[in-house]
Amino acid sequence: MRRAAVPVAAGVVALLSAPPAQAASLGAPAPEAERAVRWALSQVGVREIGNTNCGRTVVRWQRRAGWKVPPCHEWCGAFVHEAFLQAGVNLRPSFLDPEDVLDDARARRRGLRAIPVRSIRRGDLVIYRWGDTDSRADHFGIVTRRLRAGDRFVRTVDGNSGNAVQVGRRSLTYAVTGVRVIPPRRG
């Protein structure tokens, strides 16, 4: 059977024919970011015990992120660290405090780059500030869907959200910045 040619926008052709690193800069997530999203989504439902920030899986993620446990800590950072570790990218030990991640991204350190919230795409991180705290950043999660024009919400998978890994929809009102993870070059 013969298939009809389908017209494709020039940007899509460039994206489909570009090498992986260039394709990522054109709009597709890096392969590592896509693997991190897929792993993160497979963890939906993992819970801490009660309201303790502890649990067998959560503690394992905290230790692999370089934390000394006990005591257990708020673990959104351990979850993001583990997702990228499973994708082959070690973000850094002690990927704990959202404010430190914000500082690293703004300074373009440790493979993190701050990006405008409107530029986030699947596999990026989004950092939130809830507004009722003195901190500059309170939480972060992994973006599961690119923003579209007019979107007022971002879709993410987050650890330590309601004491579990959850897929959520959060208002952009609380977003401080997007963060792109830049995997180290190989070869």
Q: Is the pLDDT of residue 16 over 90?
A: no
Count other C-beta atoms under 10 Å from residue 94's C-beta: 14
Higher pLDDT, 91 or 11: 91
Q: Residues 78-92: what's their mean pLDDT? A: 93
pLDDT for 94 equals: 61
Which segments of 18-167 does DSSP mark as H helices, in order?
20-26, 31-42, 56-64, 76-86, 98-106
Whether the pTM exceeds 0.85: the reply is: no
Q: Which of 160, 155, 16, 38 is nearest to 88 (CA)?
A: 38
Higher pLDDT, 31 or 131: 31
pLDDT in tens, 107-148: 999 899 999 999 999 999 999 998 877 889 999 999 999 988
Q: Does the domain spanning 30-181 belong to CATH 3.90.1720.10?
A: yes
